[in-house]
Amino acid sequence: MPVETLEARMADLPRDQTIVAYCRGPYCALSAEAVKRLREEGFEALRTEISVSDWSDESIPGASGS
């Protein structure tokens, strides 16, 4: 979901799963902003530096805590 809708949709997000934020480009700061907001609200959240199409089915390589 776009970071602009995160606040309005936070109640819809699962609290028992890790949420992964990503951006479309390497210089995008929106995923870091999303992770910050999610963590402030008690979610476990990570940021990935790779695209969704590069994720494997078993893991999220490139995920970081920032």
Contacts of 41 (CB under 8 A, 6+ apart): 10
Please give the Cα distance from 9 to 59 (Å, whole number). 25
The reply to whether 23 belongs to the active site is yes
Catalytic residue among 23, 35, 45, 46: 23
The residues carrying an active-site annotation are: 23
